[in-house]
Structures are given as C-alpha cells and as structure tokens.
Amino acid sequence: MSQHIKIENGGYPKFDVEKITEGIFHGDVAALGRGITLVESQHKNHGPLAQQLIQNCLPKGVPSFRIGITGVPGVGKSTFIEAFGQTLLQMGKRVAVLAIDPSSSISKGSILGDKTRMETLVKEEGVFIRPSASGDNLGGVARKTRESIILCEAAGFDTILIETVGVGQSETVVHSMVDFFLLLQIAGAGDQLQGIKRGIIEMADLLVINKVDGDNIARAHRTKADLDNSLHLYPNKPSGWKASTALCSAIEKTGILEIWDILLDYERKTKSSGYWKKHRDEQNKYWLLQTIQNRLQSDFFGAEGVNEKLNDLVKEMAENKITPFEAANLLLDQS
C-alpha cells in the first residue's frame, strides 16, 4: 500500500480517490483503511477528495446491520467483540469494528489503539478493525465514524460494530448511527447500574451481563432479575421493541448465539413494522442537518476578519457599549 502514498509539499499524503474507490469496491481492506484516513484527514485540501470518495461509496453499500456496543471500561467490550465477531465470521458475515472514543483526543490513546485488544479477531479474514478517529471534539469524531461506516459498507462489510466507552455523551452519538444498541454490564453487588446513566439504559435495546462464569454465575442471575424488574419502569421505545437482558461470558464464549438471535429478532420485527427504514431515514436527516450546521459554522468562523471583529465586539460588550444580541447580529450581517 505504501507505494501509493505520495507526499505533497505540505507534508500531507496525497490520495488517489479513483484507486481507493476501486479498491474499496473490491473489498480490499488496505484501500478501505486508506479511504478512512482520507475521511479523517484534517487537511483542507482533503475535504473535497473525501466528499468525492463518500459520494462514490454511498450507492454501493451492502445491506448492513449497524450495532452499537457500550459499557464502562473493564466490563469486557473488547473481549466480547472478539467472541461475538468470531461467531459472526463463522456465519459468513463480514465484520467491521469502529470506535468512538471521547477520551482519545485528550489522552491520544484510543480504546482500540492498544494493540493487545482483539488480537485474535484482528488476524481473521473478513474483519476490519479501526481505532477511533482522533479529533478535537466528539461531533467531529462522530461525523468521521459515520462516514467510515459508509466506506465499510461499500467494501462489503455487512455487520458494523461501533464500540464506545459508556461514560459520557458518546453513547448518544453512537445511538444516532446504529440500528441496535447493546449495553454491556457485569453482575454487581447492589450496584446494578454501575454508574451508567438512566438515559443510556433507556437507549439500550439489550442489556448483556458479561462475565457470567466461575463464582459470578449466581450473582449474575440475581442481577439479571433486578434488571428485568427495573426495565418495566422504562418508557416504551418508538421502535415498539422491548429491551431485555441476556447473560454471557465473553471469555468462555457462552451466550453469544442467544444474543445474536435477539438481534435477529429485532431486525425481523422492526423491518416488518417499517421502523428499521424509518429510523435510518431519521438518522440520515439528523446527519444532513448536522453537516449543514458544521459547514455553516466553519464557513462563518473561517471567513476573513470574523475573529478580529469578534474580539472587538467582546471588548465593546465588556464596556457595555453593545449587547450580545446586537453584536451577534452585526457579525452575522457583515459576513
């Protein structure tokens, strides 16, 4: 792959969109990786190339199942994805794993960056694993992940797993790009919600209790019963689907097939009710509006003189010469 990388004057790699498109259409994971690097690039010259690539890929996507997987660090996400991914591969699926990691831009680490994670899965044919995009903000990282999904689907990946850490706002973002949202938990002594916010439980289509092995088994069943009880208290979902609970041991690879059956049941039910398509249409609308918003914002703040004028107006506000509303209107009118 490296022979295709040419360096421009600015030190940024040059991308051959036609070649990458062709590679992606042939299911070539190196081309897919390169395409995602283009989509993730912050360089302004790369923006139009990335758009071209996405345009090329959009009509070619295979029908897919997009699955969000979340849970607090240590709950067993990567171990679960290894086991789940292997099972899917054995069924003849092609599996892409992408991540949204809100901490990666700060720590420069990544939930998937650690090479020891998913070490078996990563070696398998028919798998594509990509660590989280880095970026200054969650919105930007999310947009890139969304675009990466399009590229993966054009490369023939029919099962897309989007992993995120269940600690912050990233779940909402993941929820906006998946068909099904799976929350991993562990059997906890009394601490059944494990710091997971109520809103995240509400988003979940399935709560999977992991590490149901060894001494944990009895406790896990109690936790499951508690969770089943508390799920009754949550409002009905627009999908008409009732969230449920399942037990598994990612290490012992038990419970995995049962979980897949639940996902298939969801797919069947929401496809026949029409919700599946409606939900994807709504997500597309959401991303259309997000893109417009981002573009308007970056065009506005990127315009010449806006930052200087903004600083001047902030000073005037401090001196009570102008209100924030007048200042905003002045800025908007002049650009």
In this chain, which of 89, 122, 193, 251 binds ligand GDP, going by CB under 6 A?
251
If phi > 0 it is left, if psi is from -120 to 50 it is alpha, else beta; for residue 211 that is left
**Should residue 35 be labelled a site residue for ligand GDP when binding is judged by CB under 6 A?**
no
- CA of residue 138 relative to chain centroid, distance: 10
Check residue 249 for interaction with ligand GDP (CB under 6 A): yes
Say whether residue 104 binds ligand GDP (CB under 6 A).
no
**Of the listed pieces 129-137, 247-255, 283-291, 303-311, which binds ligand GDP according to CB under 6 A?**
247-255
* Residue 144 is a binding residue for ligand GDP (CB under 6 A): no
| Residue 195 sits in the site that holds ligand GDP (CB under 6 A) | no
| Member of 31, 75, 207, 227 binding ligand GDP (CB under 6 A) | 75
Rounded to whole angstroms, the Cα distance separating 224 from 222 reads 5
Q: How far is the CB of 48 from ligand GDP (least distance, A)?
A: 37
What is the three-class DSSP state of 137? coil
By CB under 6 A, which span of 4-12, 48-56, 76-84, 149-157 interacts with ligand GDP?
76-84
Q: Which among 240, 228, 106, 100 is positioned nearest to 169, based on CA atoms? A: 100
Q: Long-range pairs for 13-18 at CB < 8 Å and ≥24 separation?
A: 13/37, 15/46, 15/49, 17/49, 17/52, 17/53, 17/56
Residue 243 backbone zone (phi > 0: left; psi -120 to 50: alpha; other: beta): beta
Cα torsion 37, 38, 39, 41: sign: positive
Say whether residue 224 binds ligand GDP (CB under 6 A): no
61: region left, alpha or beta (phi > 0 left; psi from -120 to 50 alpha): beta
**In the complex with ligand GDP, which residue's Cβ is closer, 76 or 131?**
76
Q: Which of 23, 35, 71, 131 binds ligand GDP (CB under 6 A)?
A: 71
Work out whether 74 is an interface residue with ligand GDP (CB under 6 A): yes
Q: Name the one range near ligand GDP by CB under 6 A: 123-131, 210-218, 235-243, 313-321.
A: 210-218
List 64, 79, 159, 245, residue binding ligand GDP (CB under 6 A): 79
Pair 162, 67: CB distance under 8 Å: yes
Is 132 a residue that touches ligand GDP (CB under 6 A)?
no
Residue 78 near ligand GDP by CB under 6 A: yes
Q: Which residue ranges make up the site for ligand GDP (CB under 6 A)? A: 71, 73-79, 210-211, 213, 249-251
